[in-house]
Amino acid sequence: MAQTMLAKDSIAGNRGECFVIIDGRRINFMSAISIEATVEKTKVEVPILGRKTKGWKAVGAKCTGTATFHMNTSLFRETMKHFTETGEDLYFDMIITNEDPGSAAGRQTTVLKGCNLNKIIVAKVDANDEKFLDETIDFTFEDWNLPETFNELEGE
């Protein structure tokens, strides 16, 4: 019989936390609703003599992300305003931790280094939105690491 994961070992998405480090200041990014960061390989096509198919070789990587958060902080608007006034761009780090105490997977922490905003919403109102205002930002980052990784699951 194949070994399977226990349902209790899945990670609840709302059990995470996020901090941003801007100018040495660690800020609890409690306004976050969702964050997703990806690393995509950059590949080049490799022609190979004697084969009909071409090969592929990874030659680099592109790091991008998206964050949606409640529109109740001016933090990113202030940093973008500073950029438009001075030309001085802001790079910051983001620390994202997933930990569901009900899961044997434990805790994983990812640090995104050199995050930089692509664009932001400067102002927003919406008479049709009776719940809450949110905003989504796209960003890039230059490096990342995993200081804490999930436990290997035993299953059943």
Kindly give the confidence (pLDDT) of every residue in the chain, 156 residues in length, as a single tens digit, with 9 standing for 90 and above.
678 999 999 999 888 999 999 989 999 998 999 999 999 999 999 999 999 999 999 999 999 999 999 999 999 999 999 999 999 999 999 999 999 999 999 999 999 999 999 999 999 998 886 788 999 999 999 999 999 999 999 878
For residue 141, count other CB atoms closer than 10 A to its CB.
21
Which pTM was predicted? 0.89
**Closest Cα to residue 67, out of 124, 18, 133, 9?**
18
Counting beta carbons within 10 angstroms of the beta carbon of residue 66, is it exposed (0 to 12), middle (13 to 18) or buried (19 or more)?
A: middle
Rounded Cα distance between 109 and 118, Å, is 24
CB count in 10 Å sphere of residue 83: 15
